[in-house]
Homo-oligomer: A and B are copies of this chain.
Amino acid sequence: MLAPDIAARLKRSPEGLVVAVAQQHDTGEVLMVAWMNDDALEQTLTTGRAVYWSRSRGELWRKGDTSGHVQRVVSVSLDCDGDALLVKVDQTGPACHTGERSCFDAGGDLGAAAGVDAGGGA
């Protein structure tokens, strides 16, 4: 069971889910976005493997069990208002079911007009 102090901090969707961003821990690459329910988060926090809730299949999804493309958990952080998780992982092979490393490589760039005068981010 998910630790009560963590469970109390989650702000879940009507479906009982929190969005999870998976990031390669060393390169910083954002690999994919998925969802976790309490059980998925508990397994992610305790087993060393990233586990999600598959909304399409309606079941827990331990990433890589079918594909071999596992995610070893490095750290998990909750955001300020409790409705998003950042899961730093070590991704084996591609994260995306398309075979691309990142799901955002697969979907691709939308051609934004870049903001000028960025000013160094300070």
Interfacial residues, chain A to chain B (CB-CB below 8 A): 6, 9, 19, 21, 23-24, 26-30, 32-33, 44-49, 71-86, 89-93, 96-98, 100, 103-122
Looking across the interface, which residue of chain B has its beta carbon closest to that of A96?
Answer: B80
In the complex, the count of this chain's copies comes to 2
How far apart are the CA atoms of A75 and B102 in the complex, in Å? 15
Looking across the interface, which residue of chain B has its beta carbon closest to that of A44?
Answer: B112
Q: Which residues of B contact A48 (CB under 8 A)?
A: 112-116
B73 and A112 form a contact (CB under 8 A)? yes
Of the candidates A9, A30, A79, the one having the most CB atoms from chain B within 10 angstroms of its own CB is: A79
B107 and A26 form a contact (CB under 8 A)? no
A109 and B27 form a contact (CB under 8 A)? no
B92 and A80 form a contact (CB under 8 A)? no
